[in-house]
Amino acid sequence: MFLVKNFYYTKIKSQLANIITLMNLEFGIISIILMAKGSFHLSLLFIFLAVFFDRFDGMVARKLNIESDFGKELDSLSDLVSFGVAPGLLVYMTILNKLPGVGLSLIVIYILCGAIRLARYNVKEFDGAFYGIPITVAGFLMAFSVLFSNHLPIMFYIILTSILAVLMVSNIRIQKM
């Protein structure tokens, strides 16, 4: 019995960071589904929950010494959904849909820049700094800005989306905290 318990404990421990990453992905998916139902404020809450879980998966992996290439890839896929697609759709569906051609183009570019940023991060050797702003930061700022959509002009969202897209693929060096 002890060996069986120990086996399962070891298995769970070895996958704990990935389980946390999957929570991030789950919340991103739930956010998108809620948007489809028109529940934009609840969708926003799930993006914020994804940010919370994304903050801890890497910490847990390093603390338990269970970092892996699989975990890194899974994290990037989760981040693209939770901080690229979900906030992009939220901004489009709540604000930029008033300018269908421009709004849709901007959101697609934002999501593509997020994908490029994540792919670049995955193939670069980490030297203690990020290049371009992390998609988590961009996604959080996009989602957070929706809280003020009744007070900000549509031009603000055009500029914000454009700037965040460019910053994600920029070569700006940001020291990891």
* CATH, residue 69: 1.20.120.1760
pLDDT digits (tens, 9 = 90+) for 42-97: 999 999 999 999 999 989 988 999 888 999 999 999 999 999 999 999 999 999 99
Share of the chain above pLDDT 90, in %: 79
The residue ranking higher by pLDDT, 125 or 31, is 31
* Residue numbers of the domain that contains 22: 2-175
- Which 3-state string (H, E, C) describes 78-133? HHHHHHHHHHHHHHHHHCHHHCHHHHHHHHHHHHHHHHHHHHHHHHCCCCCEEECC
Whether the per-residue pLDDT at 2 is higher than 60: the answer is no
d(CA 26, CA 49): 10
Share of the chain above pLDDT 70, in %: 94
The answer, as to whether pTM is greater than 0.85, is: yes
Quick one: CA dihedral 15, 9, 28, 137, positive or negative? negative
Domain tally, the chain: 1
Looking at residue 3, its pLDDT comes to 46
Of the candidates 77, 13, 86, 16, the residue with the CA atom closest to the CA atom of residue 49: 86
Whether the per-residue pLDDT at 129 is higher than 90: the answer is no
Looking at residue 7, its pLDDT comes to 53
Confidence of residue 6 (pLDDT cuts 50, 70, 90): low
Looking at residue 8, its pLDDT comes to 56
